[in-house]
Every structure is written in structure tokens, then in C-alpha cells.
Amino acid sequence: MAVAIGAGALALARPGSLDTLLLYAVLAQSWNLIGGLAGYASFGQVVFFGVGGYLTALAMVRLGLSFYLAMPLGGLGAALFGLAVGDLVLRVRGLYFAVATLVLAGATKAVLSSWPGLAGPSGVLTITTVGLHQPTARPGPLGFDAVYLALAAVSTAGVSVLVRSRLGDSLAVIRDDEDLAGALGIAVRPAKVAAFSLSGALAGLAGGVYAFQVTALSPAVLFAPLLSVVMVAAVVAGGAGVLGPLRGAVLLWLLSAGVGSLAPELRDVLVASLIVAVVLVEEGR
């Protein structure tokens, strides 16, 4: 298990920097909402990151909106995307849900890759950061740290409110015995879709910040499958609840600072092992 978690730690460039730690924290809370609290282990959570990132970039580039307006729009768009597809993918559980979300992320990435209007002929969408036409002055490294920190704080506060809410109770029952939930008066599908959509909002917001940080965007950058694995691994390593995902984010961040890069084939094997391990642990509980 520890080895598999290490695989997730390789996901992002610039390991060890503060922004990476805070990004991991937001992503871990995002996954926590659906994988931890509701017990639906999503392996395509990066789809929200990508959707939020692209929407943020498009709002800045095409509409000339400020980043601080575009990023919430990206989060909202990711949440709506979750509402739209949630009812479909949340019909299945366990390994089937893992596969459904993997396919969702892969298909969305493929559609965006072959969409001619999305970027120029190069396939790269660029957020202008120099000259007269930049919509928002690009913050320095400390500025991005501050934005990520705010997101991580909002995510954690949101999760701590949610676990004590009626929706939090509903998700706990759904996680432990979904078939019982209806008898207790819990409307299962709306509760699951709400959790999926909220988790999408958090990942989408993170994707928006990341997009502005990276500026040159392609599906390969915003839909990197390893990001999905980071989210799973952080919660698996740190535990669900309110603080577990933060512990997991720190652990992954430390690992990613220490571990170099592995051969892609080895990474794929490790990712696959992680998926199987997580699903087996979930089913066996």
C-alpha cells in the first residue's frame, strides 16, 4: 500500500513547494467528499480539475474576465458538470464506480483534445500574462500560495460543517449501508449527487488556480490521470473526516519531495495496484 501511495506522490511538478502542499490539501478535501464521506471511490476526480481549469482559462481569454471572477465560475461549472453526470455514474458502486469515473475523465479529456475551437492549431490554450491584454495581473508565487491557502481553508471549513449536517449524516449511512438509507428517510440519489457536485466544485476551483499558474494549457496538463491518484492516495493515507485529508496531503507532499520520478510503465502498474487496493479495502469494510 505504501508503495502505491508513493506513486501518487509523483504527480505534480515542483515537488516540495508550498503551493503543491496546499493544492494537495484542496484536492484531498474534494475527494474526501465523495470517496471518504459517501464511500464512492472516484478515480476520475481530475475531470473536475480539468473542467474548472479550462472554464477559468476560457473565461479569462475569451471573455476577458478577471481571474477572481473566472475562478469561481470555473468551480461553479465543475459543480454543474457533477450535477449533470452524477446521477449516471453514481448508479454503480465499488470497482464499477471506479471504472465509470475513469472513463468519464478519459472521455472528457478526449472530447476536449479533439475540439478544434478550444485552443489554437497548436492545441495549447494560453492565458496571456504579458502586455496590455492580460485580464488580471499574475500574482507572484506568494500570491498563488495565498489563493491556495484560502481554498484549502474554505474546503476544510466546508467539510467540517458538512459532516455535522443532515447531508453529512445521510452520506455516512449511504457509505455504510446504502440499502438501509431509504428506510431512514434518506433520499439516496440526491445526496450522492450533491456530494459529487460539491467535490467537483472544490477540484474545479483548484483547477482554475492551477490553470492561471501554468498558463499554457492542454488536456494533458489539466487532465493528468495522476492527479486523480493524488486525491485518492491522500485520503487513503490520511483517513477521511475533517483533518484526515490534510494529514494525507502532508504525507503525499513529503513523499513527492523525496521520491524522484519513476519510469511511466512502473507508474501505471502502481496506479493500477492502488485502484485495486482501495476498492478491496472499501468492499471489505
Partner 1 sequence: MTGSTTRASRPASRSPGPTGTSDPAGDCGEAAPLLKVRGLTRRFGGLVALEEIDLDVEVGRLLVVMGPNGAGKSTLVDLLTGYLRPNEGGFRLDGVDLTFSPRWSLARSGITRTFQVPRPLARFDVRENVRIAARCGSPPRPGRSAAERQAAELLSETGLDGQASCYPAELSLASLRRLELARALAGRPRLLIADEPLGGLAGADIDAGIALLRTLARPDRGVIVIEHAVRAVLQVADELAFLHHGRLLRRGPAAEVLADRAVVDAYVGAGLLRRGLL
Binding stretches for partner 1 (CB under 8 A): 164, 166, 169-170, 172-173, 176-177, 180-188
- Answer whether 147's CB lies under 8 Å from 206's CB: no
Separation CA 8–CA 270 (nearest Å): 9
If the CB atoms of residues 153 and 187 are measured against partner 1, the closer one turns out to be 187
Q: Which helix (H) or strand (E) holds 216?
A: strand 216-217
If the CB atoms of residues 114 and 165 are measured against partner 1, the closer one turns out to be 165
If the CB atoms of residues 157 and 187 are measured against partner 1, the closer one turns out to be 187
- Min dist. Cβ of residue 162 to partner 1 (A): 12
- Min dist. Cβ of residue 36 to partner 1 (A): 13
- Min dist. Cβ of residue 131 to partner 1 (A): 54
- Answer whether 163's CB lies under 8 Å from 242's CB: yes
Give the β-pairing of 216-217 and 125-126: antiparallel
Going by C-alpha positions, the residue among 111, 89, 92 that lies closest to residue 44 is 89
- Answer whether 8's CB lies under 8 Å from 259's CB: no
- Min dist. Cβ of residue 79 to partner 1 (A): 23
Match 485495486 to its residue by C-alpha cell.
Answer: 276
- Min dist. Cβ of residue 275 to partner 1 (A): 24
Match 469494510 to its residue by C-alpha cell.
Answer: 285
- Answer whether 277's CB lies under 8 Å from 13's CB: no
If the CB atoms of residues 10 and 188 are measured against partner 1, the closer one turns out to be 188
C-alpha triplet 61, 101, 195: angle, nearest 5°: 80
- Min dist. Cβ of residue 184 to partner 1 (A): 5
Q: Is 199 exposed, middle or buried (0-12, 13-18, 19+ CB in 10 A)?
A: buried
If the CB atoms of residues 191 and 251 are measured against partner 1, the closer one turns out to be 191
Q: Tell how far CA 72 is from the center of its chain.
A: 15
Q: Which residues of 268-285 are buried (b: 16+ CB within 10 A; e: fewer)?
A: eebbeebbebbbeebeee
SS3 186: coil
If the CB atoms of residues 75 and 168 are measured against partner 1, the closer one turns out to be 168
Cell numbers describing residue 45: 476526480
- Min dist. Cβ of residue 186 to partner 1 (A): 5
If the CB atoms of residues 62 and 166 are measured against partner 1, the closer one turns out to be 166
If the CB atoms of residues 42 and 170 are measured against partner 1, the closer one turns out to be 170
- Min dist. Cβ of residue 149 to partner 1 (A): 29
